Amino acid sequence: MKNRTLGSVFIVAGTTIGAGMLAMPLAAAGVGFGVTLALLVGLWLLMCYTALLLVEVYQHEQADTGLGTLAKRYLGGGGQWLTSFSMMFLMYALTAAYISGAG
């Protein structure tokens, strides 16, 4: 793995984790500790499962293949659109989390 790939992974992970840490107290205050813990564990299981699926797919592809290309190849045009929309939604959600956490 090249340094730029590892650096990109750390940038995305740091941004996602950082925004989540800012937004979590605001979201958890309304539903309580038990529900928040159950949601965190459930979402952790879902993310582990999808990460394992991505690892399986990437084993059969070139190293520089992007997520949009994979979605188009395996899911068609609709899958590529959904993947692009989901990534855009993630970036907007991160921006909203940073803004709400900052005050």
Concatenating the DSSP letter of every residue in 6-36 gives HHHHHHHHHHHHHHHHHHHHHHHHHH-HHHH
Higher pLDDT, 26 or 54: 54
Higher pLDDT, 87 or 6: 87
pTM beyond cutoff 0.85: no
Q: What is the predicted pLDDT for the residue at 81?
A: 96
Q: How confident is the model at residue 3 (pLDDT cuts 50, 70, 90)?
A: low
Q: What is the pLDDT of residues 56-79, one digit of tens each?
A: 998 988 888 888 899 999 999 999
Query: What is the band of 89 on the pLDDT scale with cuts at 50, 70, 90?
Result: very high
**Which residue range forms the structural domain that includes residue 95?**
3-102
The DSSP call for residue 64 is T
Number of domains in the chain: 1
